[in-house]
């Protein structure tokens, strides 16, 4: 019923800008070497803002893979995005990289590998910075992936329980097998996670159509707060304005 759907809370969309070697790129299943170049990341981010984005998901792929840094470019992107909040991800593994990320102007920092490999540090960061910290859970089946998805990072449910104990405020959940494939999000995984945590979940990976956004929005009452969209936008499957219309109205 349309009236019932209209009463469903908004799904927050976070268009992605993944940066490698100073350029906006997209990967397939997170694999280094699978990049498709989409040009200037500032242009990409400003375009999402122009189309109505409230958030942008900004990723330093070189830092995530441990092969360099795009910190200066990311700071420029954030400066250009007035009135748009940025979730920053990629290679934030110690105090120095965390401080730099927080100083960049990003509203939220997404911890990945560090939350798996250095749980004591991650728990301390979660306690200190609260809602400014999200933890990225990159999943194959129920096994977590680490180091730019090149290593296993433990059992999803074991790690989730540990992060819940630490007081983590939000999870960014990616099905690695879906990311960049335009094969649809893993709705079952998201439902399972909402049963195990009361904290908001941001879904990532696989969104290919406006129907996928509709399906994710139906999970908002369960705890799925938002969705990161990348390849579908760059490939022209739909516009961000169209996606926002489905997510909000």
**Contact status, residue 112 vs residue 138, Cβ threshold 8 Å:** yes
Q: Rounded to 5 degrees, what angle do the CA atoms 54, 63, 77 make? A: 35
CA distances from residue 41 to 30, 71, 188, 231 in whole angstroms, order as listed:
18, 12, 33, 14
Q: Which residues are catalytic?
A: 18, 138
User: How is the chain split among helix, strand and coil, in percent rounded to 5?
Assistant: 40, 25, 35
């Amino acid at each position: 019923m349309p009236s019932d759907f209209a009463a469903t809370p908004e799904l927050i969309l976070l268009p992605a800008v993944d940066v490698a070697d100073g350029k906006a790129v997209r990967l397939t299943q997170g694999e280094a070497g699978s990049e498709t170049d989409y040009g200037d990341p500032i242009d990409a981010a400003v375009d999402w803002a122009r189309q109505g984005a409230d958030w942008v998901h900004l990723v330093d792929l070189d830092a995530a893979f441990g092969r360099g840094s795009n910190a200066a470019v990311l700071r420029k992107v954030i400066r250009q995005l007035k009135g748009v909040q940025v979730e920053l991800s990629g290679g934030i593994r110690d105090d120095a990289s965390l401080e730099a990320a927080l100083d960049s102007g990003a509203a939220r920092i997404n911890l990945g590998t560090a939350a798996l490999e250095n749980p004591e540090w991650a728990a301390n960061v979660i306690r200190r910075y609260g809602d400014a910290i999200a933890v990225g859970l990159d999943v194959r089946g129920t096994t977590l992936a680490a180091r730019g998805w090149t290593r296993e990072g433990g059992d999803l449910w074991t790690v989730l329980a540990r992060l819940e104990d630490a007081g983590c405020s939000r999870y960014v959940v990616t099905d690695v097998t879906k990311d960049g494939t335009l094969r649809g999000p893993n709705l079952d995984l998201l439902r399972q996670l909402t049963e195990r945590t009361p904290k908001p979940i941001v879904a990532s990976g696989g969104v290919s159509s406006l129907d996928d956004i509709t399906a994710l929005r139906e999970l908002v009452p369960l705890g799925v707060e938002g969705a990161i969209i990348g390849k579908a936008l760059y490939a022209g499957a739909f516009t961000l304005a169209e996606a926002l219309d489905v997510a909000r109205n």
